[in-house]
Amino acid sequence: MIAANPNEETEEMREYSLALMSKVNYNNYVKKHTVQSKTFYKEGEGPKLAKVDGGVKAQLCSGELGIAKVYSGNKRAQWYIKGPSLNSDIGIVLANKKKLAAYGKLSLVGASGSINIFIPYSRKILVIGLEGDLFSIGGGLEVDNTVSKKIKFGVHYGIGGDVILEVK
């Protein structure tokens, strides 16, 4: 049943959200943070040209190279602090779902945090994140509509920051 007022919650909507909540084990959903670390690490992948979803994926590089990283997170929030690192994401996906990325930065010290917010009456999650760096240079833009809808943008020159908005 559809409510006359789109902001009004119907009985069917309430029953649906209660059913969803009863299927979620709260202890599994919100577990204790486990702090992990990496040293001299490499994440991501190199050059790639592939056919995807009736289109093409052309990627020069996508990843991070760094000396030290301490991080933690669960399904509600994530964070990290890292030492010297180099990030890059240069590529394009032209298919049913599109991605365009031109982003790179070199930083001496960086930190990031994000929170996940459940969107009521949907199975979607809104991710809001901020990254900050000291002694950094770079920046760029990433718009991703492949798996989730994501936009990331930032500028780095000495001190820099990025804003990340994503719907999963």
Tens digits of pLDDT across the chain (168 residues): 444 444 455 555 555 555 455 444 444 444 455 788 999 999 988 888 988 877 888 888 889 999 999 999 887 899 999 999 999 999 988 887 788 999 999 999 999 999 999 998 888 899 999 999 999 999 999 998 877 899 999 999 999 999 999 998
pTM of the predicted model as reported, rounded to 2 decimal places: 0.72
Give residue limits of the domains in the chain.
Answer: 33-167
Strands 99-118 and 125-144, bridge-based pairing: antiparallel
CA-based Rg of the chain, rounded to a whole angstrom? 19
Q: Which two tokens stand for residue 110?
A: 């960086």
What count of other Cβ atoms lies within 10 Å of the Cβ of residue 54?
8
Give yes or no for a contact between 63 and 42, defined as CB atoms under 8 angstroms apart. yes
Q: Which two tokens stand for residue 136?
A: 């950094």
How big is the CA angle at 67 (ends 62 and 70), to the nearest 5 degrees?
90
